[in-house]
Chains A and B, each alone.
Chain A
Amino acid sequence: MDKLELFFFKRYLKAPKRNFFRFTFVFMVMGIVLSVGILSAGLNLFQGYESNLKSLLLDSFAHISIQSSYGELISEDELATIQKRLAKRGEIVSAIPSMEHPLMAQKGDKIRAITLRAYDFSQEFPYQKYIQDAKGELQSGEVIVGHYLAEELGLGIGDSIELNYPRFDRITPLGIHTAQNKYKIADLYRSGYYESDRSLVISTLKDARALLFLPEGYSRIELRLKDADKAGSFARAYSEVLGHDYIAIPWNLYAESLLRLVAMEKWLIFIVFSFLVLIAGINVISAVSTIIIDKRSEIAVLKSLGASPRSIKRLFAFRVGTVAILSVLIGQAFGALLSWFVEKQSFYSLKGDVYFIDTLGAKITFPNLTVVFLVASFLIFLCVMLPLRQIEKMQIIELIRHKR
């Protein structure tokens, strides 16, 4: 800023009403506030979706799952060795052995494919927070059922559910032998992650082994880490430590492509909504053009007194720019309000079978705020500078003669 620019800018700040809150700016401000608001709200909601989905994925699945390389069960002895080998790993929060097996659940003539997961309830149970009533330890003969699954089968707490295990290894003259057992639904599982809520059945280890005709042992060890984002590199390290009898599978092996897709969609939405800001930019162009025409005698005077066109351009840029930047900030606040409202409203919720999760949530992050601010300011800046080029072309003599 040179002396002249600084001088004018100080005058503008001294009399904001006269210089900033002008009628010419009303539509420009409205356009910026609305478009930036929608842009930020869109980004906030998508960010919320992304981080909700990620945290649900991280909570619903083991961060690293250790399994036998040959699909065999892990015996108690092996479990002890593995635990010993990983004991010094400070990043591991918990290591919980479990069973997992695909099964069929049945109620009357309704049949659903489910995943049975079994835990030792006298030890740690990792999904306690998703259990609706949390009445304490699960007993033998009882199961916890995903709430959508229960709904689809028309079941509730206290009802009984039948689990079937078709044994393809035991084909008899009468057909495939199917082991089946009835269990009482002790509780419902409600994580918000649609896939789990509609397919998960949790039982005690003892019941699962009995149903599956399996000896002692576990199908896997579920590890949870302090920092799930590092699961990939830790998994590689554990595979090395444990030798090739076991494999360590990080969570993101399955979920990464999904999360990448969601992140890509987020930025796609951002780009699309950025065009709204560009449309608001049209108002900016017209506001700036109006001011230039309004102030052409002032431009003529400054030019005749020897001010450079560059300096005059910057005078106008500072003036409109201040209003525009303020509008962008107000727009961001408006966007935060808008996304908060969408989060709190109850008219519309996500379809879990399409979006994996069923709650809308907004998340405001500092990097996103910065990105919106920079992108919006840059686009608006272009729209301010575009009409200002006229100033260079304006001839003093024409401006002076004009007034006659």
Chain B
Amino acid sequence: MILSAKDLKKTYIDSDQRIEVLTGACLDVAAGDLICITGKSGSGKSTMLHIMGLLDAPDSGELIMEGKKIEAKSPKAPTIRNRDLGFVFQFHYLVEDLTATENVALPLLIAGQSEAKAMARAKELLCILGLSERLKRYPNQLSGGEQQRVSLARALANRPKLVLADEPTGNLDPVHSKEVWDMILSLNKGEFRQTFVIVTHDVEAAQAADRVFELVNGILIPA
């Protein structure tokens, strides 16, 4: 297993009100998987993904990555986020002052690679994702789909074991949405065999996935 989420629980307390978002969610992700998580708005999909991406800590439960327990609060978490996990946010979160290539180079630079190497790898990735014409554009000069593909390239930069994507097509029109989905599918099925866990509203698109789960009452049930 690349990543196992065991019995994750998360409760928010919002002005005297307890919101039990996760009540014991479990998920096993194997190499090469393409897993989709669906669910109603507010059901806790993002929360689940943030916890799996070490961006947030659960109240209880644990995460095991290739046999080792990992925690968001441990000092190793930044390194794991940098090397082993890739995250695509619902909103693109590209750095506005940097070009597409420079954005993709960021995880590589943080990992300590030289600028030349990082930029070369970033260009390569953007070309694979069909953005060879957009290398020097700034985020505000790119369409939503293009921005999301740049985010995807950035998530892939350090060849992570697992890419977590939170509604990567949530803000896109059907045409751009399909563009991104096709990309994800080809990365998963093609030579990369990239493992994905994707949160989506798009039930139709989710059909392409190997496994689909629905988040209901704080647990994941196979759909």
Contact = CB atoms under 8 A, between A and B. Distances in A.
Interface of A: 2-4, 6-7, 11, 15, 18-19, 297-298, 300-308, 311, 396-397, 400, 403-404
Given A306-B107, A306-B110, A397 B81 contact: no
B78 A307 contact: yes
Given A3-B112, A305-B107, A11 B102 contact: yes
A396 B96 CA distance: 18
B95 interface: yes
Interface in B74-120: 78-83, 87, 89, 91, 93-98, 102, 105-107, 109-115, 118
B11 to A, nearest CB: 15
B109 to A, nearest CB: 5
B86 to A, nearest CB: 9
Contacts of B91: 403-404
Nearest to A3: B109
Given A6-B115, A7-B115, A11-B102, A307 B110 contact: yes
Contacts of A396: 55-56
Interface residues of B, number: 32
B55 A304 contact: yes
A306 B114 contact: no
A325 to B, nearest CB: 21
Q: Which residue, of A2, A6, A307, has the highest number of chain B Cβ atoms within 10 A?
A: A307
B96 A7 contact: no
Contacts of B87: 304
B50 interface: yes
A293 to B, nearest CB: 15
A7 B116 CA distance: 10
A303 B81 CA distance: 9
Contacts of B78: 303, 306-308
Q: Which residue, of B50, B87, B109, B113, has the highest number of chain A Cβ atoms within 10 A?
A: B109
A6 to B, nearest CB: 7
Contacts of A308: 78
A2 B118 CA distance: 14
B109 A400 contact: no
A7 B119 CA distance: 11
Contact of A397 (B55, B82, B109, B113): B55
Contact of B55 (A7, A11, A311, A400): A400
Given A305-B106, A306-B107, A400 B114 contact: no
A19 B110 contact: no
B123 to A, nearest CB: 15
A3 B107 contact: no
A301 B115 contact: no
B93 A18 contact: no
A8 to B, nearest CB: 8
Q: Which residue, of A297, A298, A303, A400, has the highest number of chain B Cβ atoms within 10 A?
A: A400
Contacts of B98: 11
A404 to B, nearest CB: 8
26 contacts: A2-B112, A3-B109, A3-B112, A3-B113, A7-B102, A7-B109, A7-B115, A11-B97, A11-B102, A297-B93, A298-B95, A298-B96, A298-B97, A301-B94, A304-B53, A305-B82, A305-B106, A305-B154, A306-B82, A306-B107, A307-B106, A311-B110, A397-B55, A397-B56, A403-B91, A404-B91
B130 to A, nearest CB: 23
B141 to A, nearest CB: 14
Given A4-B110, A7-B115, A306-B110, A400 B102 contact: no
B119 to A, nearest CB: 9
Q: Which residue, of B83, B106, B115, has the highest number of chain A Cβ atoms within 10 A?
A: B106
B81 A304 contact: yes
A306 B109 contact: no
Given A11-B102, A306-B78, A397-B56, A3 B114 contact: yes
A11 B109 CA distance: 14
Nearest to A19: B97
Contacts of B106: 4, 301-302, 305, 307
Nearest to B115: A7
Contacts of B79: 306
Contacts of B105: 7
Nearest to A305: B107
A2 B115 CA distance: 11
A199 to B, nearest CB: 70
Interface in B27-62: 50, 53, 55-56
A192 B154 CA distance: 73
Nearest to A299: B95
